[in-house]
Amino acid sequence: MADWLDTPAATSETAGWVSIKKPSAGRSGKPNLKDNFVISPEHTKLNNRLALLLVAIMVLAPIPLASHRPVWWLLLGIVISGIAVWHLVRGSRIAPDRTLQMFKHAPLFLMGLAVVVFAVLQGLPIAAIIPDALLRLPETMVPGPVLHTISIVPDASILGALRITIYLCFVALVLEAAAQPNRGERMGWLLFFGITAHAVWGLVSLNFLGDTLLFGEKTAYQGMATGTFVNRNSYATFLGFGIVLGIALSLDRRIAPRIRASRDPGWLSPERIEMLGIWAMIAMITLALLATQSRMGVGATAVAGLLTFVVMRIKQGHSTAATLLTGGIGFVIFAAIALLRGGQGVLERFIFVEGASETRADFYSQILGMIGNRPFTGYGLDAFAPAFELHRAPPITAPLYLDMAHNSYLTLWAEMGLLFGSLPILALIGAAVIILRRIARRTTDLAMPVAALGIICLGGLHSLVDFSLEIPANVLVFLAVIAIGAAHRPIGR
C-alpha cells in the first residue's frame, strides 16, 4: 500500500499527483512561494507517508471504545503531536520556504484557537474579576465551596482545551497531506475501506460472536450493532460517513477518463466488476447501519446520501430533473429497506418517536434554561453533566445521571456561552462555504469536496438530537473529510 501512495512527482498537472511550477517573482525579485511552489520528490514522499499515518489513526481510533475515554484520546494526542513535530521538522528541511496549508484557512483556525483560549480561561481562577451576574447559579442550589473559576469543573475544561488543540493539529496535518487532489482522494478511498472493515466487524460481532464489544461484554444496546463503539448512534454516524464517501467516490470513479471506453465494455469487464465490488461494500455498511436501529443515524445518512448523489450527478452534466427523480426513487427504496430489513426495532422506534420527543423536549427546555442563566460565560467546557444536575427538575427524573445533552449545539452554548459556543458552528459554516465554492468552480476532482458537503449535512443533522460529533473517533473522520474537501489547491487545480 505504501508503494501505491509513493507516486513520483509529476511534471504537469495531468501526469500525476504533484504539479511542479516555477515560482513567480515578487516585488523584491525573490521567488514568491505562497501559491506557486516547487515540490520536490522528497516532499511528495513525506506527505504520502503523512497521508498513510493519518488514515491509520482514523481507522484505528474507533477500536478502543471510539477513543471516548480520556486515556485513549490523550494517547491519540501524543501520536498526533509526534507526527506533527516530525512533519514540521522534516518539511522545513526539505522545503523551508513553503507556506503551511493551515495559513490558507487562517480565519477558521483562529476561531478554533479562540475556543481553546476561552476554555483555558474558564479553568483559571479569574471569577473574582467577573461580575457576579455573569456567573449565576440556581438559587435552589445547596451552598457549597465558593467557585474561583468560570467552569464548575475547571480541570475538565483544561483537558477539553487540550483535546480541541489536538483536533486543530490533526486538521492542519490533513490539510498538508491533501494539498494535492489525488492524494486527498486516495485518503478518502483508504478511509472508506477502513469504515467497511468496521461495518463487517459490527455485523460479525452482533450475529456470530454473541453481541460483544471487541474488549469485554456490552452493557447496553444488546441486539443492536455497535461495533467497537459503546453507543449505537455514534456508530451509526461513523457508518454514515462511510456511505457518503462511498457514493461520492464511486460516482467519480465511474466517469474517470481512464476507465471510459468508446464501446460498451460488457457486464463482466474489470471496470464493471470493480464498481460492483464498491457498491457491495456500500451495501455492507448499509446493513450494519440498519442493524444499529438508530433512527437519526438512518435518516441523516439517507438525506446526506441523497445530497451527495444529486450534487455529483448534476456536476457530471446529468439533467437536474432526471437526477432528482433517480435520487428520489433511491431515497424511497432506502427508506423502505430501512423499515423492513432493519427489523422490528427500527420500525418501532420510528412509530413511537412522538413519545420520545416529548421527553426530549422537556430535557431541551431545561438546557435552554441553563443557557439563559449563563448566556455569556457558560459553565465550562466538558462541564455539562454536573451543570445540568444543578438545574434538573421534574419531569426529568431518570436516568439518575445525564452526561450528554443529546444536542451538540445546546452543549456548546451551555458549556461555552452563546458567543464562544457559536464559533465552532461558524467555522463549520465557513468551511461549507469554501467547499461549495470548490464544487461550483471545478469540473474534476469533485469526489472529496462533495463527500465533505454530504458529511457536513449528516453530522449537522445528527447533532440536532445526539452527541455523535462529541466522540473523538467520529470527530477525526468528520474533520478530516471536511479538510480534504476544503484543502487549498495549487493554482490551476
Residues 396-438: tens digit of each pLDDT: 876 666 788 999 999 999 999 999 999 999 999 999 999 999 9
- Cα 312 from Cα 303, distance rounded (Å): 14
pLDDT at 243: 97
pLDDT at 489: 63
pLDDT, mean of residues 337-358: 54
- Cα 434 from Cα 489, distance rounded (Å): 12
Q: How many CB atoms lie within 10 A of CB 426?
A: 12
pLDDT tier, 217 (very low <50, low <70, confident <90, very high otherwise):
confident
DSSP conformational letter for 131:
-
Highest average pLDDT, of 40-54, 162-176, 208-222, comes from: 162-176
DSSP conformational letter for 22:
P
DSSP conformational letter for 227:
T
Give the total residue count for the chain: 493
Q: Would you report the helix, strand and coil content of the chain in percent, each value rounded to 5? A: 65, 0, 30
The answer to whether residue 403 is domain-embedded is yes
Q: Which residue, among 183, 54, 179, has the nearest Cα to 479 in the 3D structure?
A: 54
The answer to whether residue 492 is domain-embedded is no
The answer to whether residue 163 is domain-embedded is yes
The answer to whether residue 493 is domain-embedded is no
pLDDT, mean of residues 357-362: 72
Supply φ then ψ for residue 32, to 5 degrees: -100, 110
* Residue type for position 429: I
pLDDT, mean of residues 130-145: 78
Q: Can you give the residue range of the structural domain that contains 158?
A: 2-486
Burial profile 24-60: b = 16 or more Cβ within 10 angstroms, e = fewer: eeeeeeeeebeebbbbeeebbbbbbbbbbbbbebbbe
pLDDT, mean of residues 439-461: 94
Which long-range contacts does 337-340 make (Cβ < 8 Å, 24+ apart)? Answer: 337/286, 337/290, 338/290, 338/298, 338/302
pLDDT, mean of residues 222-243: 95
pLDDT at 1: 40
DSSP conformational letter for 35:
S
The answer to whether residue 268 is domain-embedded is yes
The answer to whether residue 75 is domain-embedded is yes
The residue behind cell 451552598 is 143
The answer to whether residue 50 is domain-embedded is yes
DSSP conformational letter for 24:
E
- Cα 128 from Cα 149, distance rounded (Å): 8
Q: What string of DSSP letters covers 256-300?
A: -GGG--SS---TTSHHHHHHHHHHHHHHHHHHHHHHTT-HHHHHH
Half-sphere exposure of 266 (CA within 13 A, CB side): 3
Q: Which residue, among 287, 290, 301, has the nearest Cα to 454 in the 3D structure?
A: 301
pLDDT tier, 353 (very low <50, low <70, confident <90, very high otherwise):
very low
pLDDT at 159: 96
For residue 323, pLDDT over 80 is answered with yes
Q: Are 467 and 406 in contact (CB under 8 A)?
A: yes
For residue 265, pLDDT over 70 is answered with no
Residue 422 CA from chain centroid, whole number: 18
Examine residue 265 and say whether the peptide bond preceding it is cis (omega within 30 degrees of 0).
no
- Cα 111 from Cα 419, distance rounded (Å): 11
For residue 5, pLDDT over 80 is answered with no
For residue 143, pLDDT over 80 is answered with no
Rg (CA), the chain: 24
Half-sphere exposure of 280 (CA within 13 A, CB side): 6
Q: For 35-54, how does the pLDDT look when each residue is reduced to its tens digit (9 = 90+)?
A: 444 567 898 999 999 999 99
- Cα 203 from Cα 225, distance rounded (Å): 7
pLDDT, mean of residues 350-360: 53
pLDDT, mean of residues 239-250: 97
Higher pLDDT, 52 or 99: 52
The answer to whether residue 433 is domain-embedded is yes
* Beta bridge partners of residue 25, listed in sequence order: 31
The residue behind cell 453530522 is 459
Considering its fold, how many domains does the chain have in total? 1
Cell of 257: 477518463
For residue 187, pLDDT over 90 is answered with yes
